[in-house]
């Protein structure tokens, strides 16, 4: 078991580039594999989650070179060129891989099985298997609706018009990928905006989409054309440093080449509402995705009621935002975020328990948290194998009164290989043991 030991205090300074965007890395391999021609990827996240996707497509006969320094070459086989894997596809801790692949594989001619680690095998999958069944897919799961997922091939899918009960980019993307193989049109309506990397990449590869407010449609039976993809730095990984520099006096950081897709910038909006000093520099477009350098300086934060419309746009960043709230003056309330309870861990309960262990007044609610800002003590917390919780508590040490030990941190490698080294270079006193 990996434990982080973090000494209190310090400041974050300098320029750094966090690893590539995990969501875009997943999709670049998936869609590159289904495209006709060779897709060249740079900035690919060499974390365990993204590698799980890459290895799954290798197991289905796709010729993939790398990763080598973030560079990957995918020789696409076309929409109907995948081959039956020799065994179950092990997706480790990656919920994105499992949910998106369930849609993609539902349209194949062969049977397949999706498995993962203990955390992934306990996560809810009915949110994808039920709408896929409406499209004609046959997927077997446990009685609880969890993996292993056994997907029966050779089924003719049909397009549906589906309204998401909860805003979820993973479910939306799953159904769009199934729609590539379906007869007729597949339309997905979402109650609030979610990340749109799948739609952007499909369009970039020449697939016709209809997009309007809250709705995206595509017609089955098209083709994808290979492109070069430059993966920007992941704003979800940048979030830990945005919070760390905001709460630590004397901090000033520039985070380079960060993706600023408007469906992902909730963390910027929420931190700015709390008083954070964050500036976007050299805003530009890279392969259809907006990118900027983010300059963040220390600033006194104050508690807020987090706007409900920002929740889907910051769903992965709330562990870090809870730390910002603990360091802010006054009360911060989050509601409408019940999705946090079914992530890699129950992020509401696990963050609440950890903050309380450090002396913070943090009260979990069914769909969020109420946090009273104040001093953070030292102590020991358990990440429950959740990479984002581990990194969030590491940043909390910048304002802690004593050292913080964080247990079960090995899964940081799923999204942020090299976190300890990069954070140490920026000024955080963290070691892994």
Which residues participate in catalysis according to the annotation?
316
The candidate with the shortest Cα–Cα distance to 22, out of 363, 317, 362, 369, is: 317
Pair 381, 395: CB distance under 8 Å: no
Distance, in Å, from the CA atom of 325 to the CA atom of 230, rounded to the nearest integer, reads 34
End-to-end CA distance of the chain: 8
Q: For residues 32-67, b (16+ Cβ closer than 10 Å) or e, as one string?
A: bbbbbeebbbbbbbbbbbbbbbbbbbebbebebebb
Phi, psi dihedral angles at 217 (to 5 degrees): -135, 150
For 264, the token pair is 């992902």
Distance, in Å, from the CA atom of 131 to the CA atom of 141, rounded to the nearest integer, reads 14
Read off the DSSP letter of residue 21: P
- Kindly list the strands in the beta sheet with 368-372, ordered across the sheet, starting from the edge strand earlier in the chain: 331-334, 368-372, 361-365
Cβ-based neighbour number of residue 189 at 10 Å: 15
Distance, in Å, from the CA atom of 116 to the CA atom of 338, rounded to the nearest integer, reads 23
Cβ-based neighbour number of residue 86 at 10 Å: 7
Contacts of 407 (CB under 8 A, 6+ apart): 1, 3, 380, 381, 382, 383
Whole-number Cα distances in Å, 6 to 394, 412, 425: 6, 15, 14
User: Which residues on neighbouring strands pair with residue 149, listed in sequence order?
Assistant: 114
Q: What is the 3-state secondary structure (H, E, C) of 235-263?
A: HHHHHHHHHHHHHCCCCEEEEEEEECCCC
**419-426 vs 235-247: helix crossing angle, rounded to 10:** 30
């Amino acid at each position: 078991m990996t434990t982080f030991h973090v000494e209190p205090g310090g400041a974050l300074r300098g320029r750094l580039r966090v690893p590539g965007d995990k969501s875009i890395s997943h999709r670049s391999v998936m869609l590159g594999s289904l495209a006709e021609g060779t897709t060249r990827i740079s900035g690919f996240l060499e974390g365990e989650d993204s590698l799980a996707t890459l290895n799954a497509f290798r197991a289905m006969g796709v010729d993939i070179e790398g990763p080598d320094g973030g560079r990957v070459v995918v020789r696409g086989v076309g929409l109907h060129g995948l081959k039956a894997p020799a065994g179950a596809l092990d997706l480790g801790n990656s919920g994105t891989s499992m949910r998106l692949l369930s849609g993609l594989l539902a349209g194949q001619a062969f049977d397949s099985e999706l498995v993962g680690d203990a955390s992934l095998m306990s996560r809810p999958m009915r949110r994808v298997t039920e709408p896929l069944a409406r499209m004609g897919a046959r997927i077997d799961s446990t009685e609880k609706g969890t993996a292993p997922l056994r997907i029966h091939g050779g089924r003719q899918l049909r397009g549906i018009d589906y309204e998401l009960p909860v805003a979820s980019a993973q479910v939306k993307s799953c159904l769009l990928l199934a729609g590539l193989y379906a007869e007729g049109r597949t339309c997905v309506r979402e109650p609030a905006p979610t990340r749109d990397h799948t739609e952007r990449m499909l369009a970039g590869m020449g697939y016709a989409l209809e997009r309007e407010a809250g709705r995206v449609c595509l017609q089955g039976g098209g083709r994808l054309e290979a492109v070069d993809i430059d993966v920007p730095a992941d704003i979800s990984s940048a979030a830990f440093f945005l919070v760390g520099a905001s709460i630590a006096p004397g901090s000033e950081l520039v985070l380079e080449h960060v993706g600023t897709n408007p469906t992902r910038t909730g963390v910027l909006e929420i931190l700015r509402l709390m008083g954070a000093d964050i500036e976007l520099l050299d805003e530009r477009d890279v392969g259809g995705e907006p990118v900027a350098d983010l300059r963040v300086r220390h600033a006194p934060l104050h508690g807020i009621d987090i706007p409900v419309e920002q929740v889907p746009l910051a769903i992965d960043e709330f562990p870090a935002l809870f730390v910002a709230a603990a360091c802010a003056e006054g009360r911060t309330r989050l509601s409408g975020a019940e999705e946090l309870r079914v992530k890699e861990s129950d992020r509401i309960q696990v963050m609440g328990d950890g903050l309380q262990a450090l002396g913070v007044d943090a009260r979990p609610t069914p769909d969020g948290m109420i946090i009273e800002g104040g001093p953070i003590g030292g102590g020991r917390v358990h990440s429950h194998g959740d990479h984002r919780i581990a990194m969030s508590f590491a940043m909390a040490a910048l304002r802690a009164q004593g050292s913080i030990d964080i247990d079960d941190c090995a899964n940081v490698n799923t999204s942020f290989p090299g976190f300890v080294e990069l954070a140490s270079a920026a000024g955080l006193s963290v070691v892994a043991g």
